[in-house]
Copies of this chain bind each other. A is one copy, B any other.
Amino acid sequence: MNKPCAQHAHPHRLVQQSLTELTDKLRARDRKITAPRQAVLDVLRRHAHPLTNREIHAALGKADCDLATIYRNMHTLESMGLVKRYDFGDGTARFELVQGEGDPHHHHLVCRHCHTIIEVEDCFPTELEQRLAARHGFTEVSHQLEFFGVCPRCRRDGAASVP
């Protein structure tokens, strides 16, 4: 709670939940098991990094479904705690599957040029968060933290990666 957490924890977040498990979670919450929903969960399941709704939509092959449906489902899944929303400050939300109950939230290190994403297991702010809550009488406190920079590759290639 006060420590820098795992130093060199999982370099990649691996798929840990089967589609069946995820489906069960839907069922447990009285949500209908629909094709679009399963397709979305399956896409998220096989990606280690946050995806935008558009990326999810593109990743759906033949299971294609309406973008609006994806937007709606992401809200649903988020409120159910199955996915977590991240904001990289570029105006589009990104979603990642939550790995079970005690999955501690994490942060990201994003390349400003090629948008490569590195998962960051460390998390300091929680401590600060407690202090702030106490000092200002706030409740239900949470925080959002992301890191930005230029990755080794983009630095080498010059800033010509993404205009």
Contact = CB atoms under 8 A, between A and B. Distances in A.
B138 A151 contact: yes
Interface string A97-138: 000000000000101100000101010110111011100111
Interface stretch (A23-31, A46-54, A57-65, A140-148): A140-148
Contact of A151 (B129, B136, B149): B136
A156 to B, nearest CB: 10
Contact of A148 (B91, B144, B149): B144
**A120, A122, A138, A145: most-surrounded residue (chain B CB, <10 A):** A138
Interface of A: 4, 87, 89, 91, 109, 111-112, 118, 120, 122, 124-125, 127-129, 131-133, 136-152, 155
